[in-house]
A = this chain, B = another copy of it.
Amino acid sequence: MSDESQELGITESKSHKPGEWYAEVVQKANLADYAPMGGFIVTKPRGYALWEGIQNALDGWFKETGVDNVYFPLFIPESFLEREKDVVEGFDPEVAWVTQGGHEELEERLAVRPTSESIIAPFMADWTRSHRDLPLRLNQWCSVVRWEATETKPFFRTKEFMWQEGHTAHASDEGAWDEVWTRLGQYERLYEDVLAIPVLRGKKPEHDKFPGADTTTTVEALMPDGKSVQGGTSHNLGQSFAEAFDITFADEDEEERTAYTTSWGVSWRAIGALIMTHSDDQGLVLPPTIAPTQVAIVPIWQEDTKEDVLEYSENIADDLEDAGFRVELDDRDERNPGFKFNEHELNGVPLRLEIGPYEVEDEEVTMVHRPDNEESVEDRDEIVESVDEHLDEIYDKLYETAEENLEENIREAHSPEEILGTIGKHGGYVKTPWCGDEACEEAIKEKIAAEIVMQPLEDAGGQSSGEVPEPEHDECGVCGDPADEIAYFAKSY
């Protein structure tokens, strides 16, 4: 291998040093760079394209289900943040404050939004007069800032991150619950159908809800290193924000009623989960559903075969583009095929087409899968169907591998020793009856940095009831007291 090929290679191992490996994949696959200020990153074209893929999927589904995009100010006056007491307690320690504008000190500090309920709710109050104004469904795509003092991990832990935040108001509790499940279902669909990552749906324990929420629901994804990622959350805010900000409406009998609100969000952490789930020691692996380039065509020529090979390759690229695939024909003169193979592997291109003089002669195409290098030879005249099938196969392989990892890593435990031992040995989720006392979570957390990442939800015919099913055993897996809930412990990102 040339020096340049060496430079492309990932040197860390995913299984031995997942943290270092992750950082190397992010940088070498050109997804992001570290900004000069700790906690901030620069999202490069290949990384931003993944975010655009996520945006396009979710934004389409939101619009189909009655959501309007809006944009609220970046700054929230301190007095607004203070109107909902749980919000100020929850976010005050991690707010970035603007105190100067131009050469003047501001009279009131402005928070750089950590989340926008406190600036959106007063406008909801203004816009909601009659029951006919409800439901009101707003969403914005933006960044938020939370000043946490932790090590930077691109897409997982950064002081500024990109997300969408949805905010809705409803005439009834039932309407708010419908909304919560609709959005949680769309998040599940994003992970499973676009990112090829199976998720568990659940709710957060009471003490770990979004500040001000009645219920926080979540989709959780299990990473290959045994840690859980909170993939997206959908909050039933009940009437706490509506009461704090006076969101009321006249019902059909002209009676004044208080609305019910929800909020829900997915951040670029989804990109982190995507990288972590599928990628390997050769670099990034992307399911074809989200890959900015789905097919890389690498022509292999000598001087005397160049013209034929390139013409054949160009025709194939045209056919595939016309069929709607995202294709790159890599006809660079200054790189050899081996370098190109490595580079497309590193960048996570799902399917590589290798075309040399033999393929031209036999009217065939050699296809190679990322990540397992499965190779096959297909007929030129069925290229569109073949590529379609191979991309589906690649998606299925990635999804199945992630699904196996999830299924094999949900274990039951019925004592603190068993919980600690199981997580310590295998990682993954440990399912246990729980009495509902935060102290029991603390007892585990202190010893092993695992916490209750979610509680499963009763399924009431596709529409969750919001209730946690009763456990079969009735003793808390930590303290032994009577338990009527189930909890999933795991280490988490």
Contacts and interface: CB of A to CB of B under 8 A. Distances in A.
Interface of A: 33, 35-37, 40-45, 48-49, 51-52, 68-75, 77, 80, 93-103, 109-110, 112, 119, 122-123, 126, 132, 138, 142-143, 145, 147, 149, 159-160, 162, 334
Contact of A42 (B45, B73, B149): B73
Contacts of A74: 74, 112, 143, 145, 160
Can you list the 3 inter-chain pairs with the closest CB atoms, starting with the nearest?
Answer: A45-B68, A101-B147, A97-B100
A371 to B, nearest CB: 25
Nearest to A268: B71
B72 A42 contact: yes
Contact of A37 (B69, B77, B93, B143): B77
A72 B97 CA distance: 20
Given A48-B70, A52-B69, A68-B45, A40 B75 contact: yes
Contacts of A42: 70-73, 123
A160 B75 contact: yes
A77 B147 CA distance: 15
29 contacts: A35-B72, A36-B77, A36-B80, A37-B75, A41-B73, A42-B72, A43-B70, A45-B68, A48-B70, A48-B71, A49-B69, A71-B143, A71-B162, A73-B160, A74-B145, A74-B160, A75-B96, A93-B102, A96-B102, A97-B98, A97-B99, A98-B98, A98-B99, A99-B99, A100-B109, A101-B147, A101-B159, A102-B149, A142-B143
A78 to B, nearest CB: 11
A71 to B, nearest CB: 4
Nearest to A79: B36
Number of copies of this kind of chain in the complex: 2
A174 to B, nearest CB: 23
Given A45-B68, A138-B45, A40 B97 contact: no
Nearest to A102: B147
Contact of A73 (B40, B94, B142, B147): B40
Contacts of A159: 101
B93 A70 contact: no
Contacts of A33: 123, 126
B70 A44 contact: yes
Contacts of A49: 68-69
A128 to B, nearest CB: 13
Contacts of A70: 42-45, 48
Nearest to A126: B33
Contacts of A112: 74, 98, 112
A160 B132 CA distance: 32
A99 B102 contact: no
A94 B98 contact: no
| Candidate in A51, A71, A143 with the most chain B CB atoms within 10 angstroms | A71
Contacts of A71: 42-43, 48, 51, 143, 162
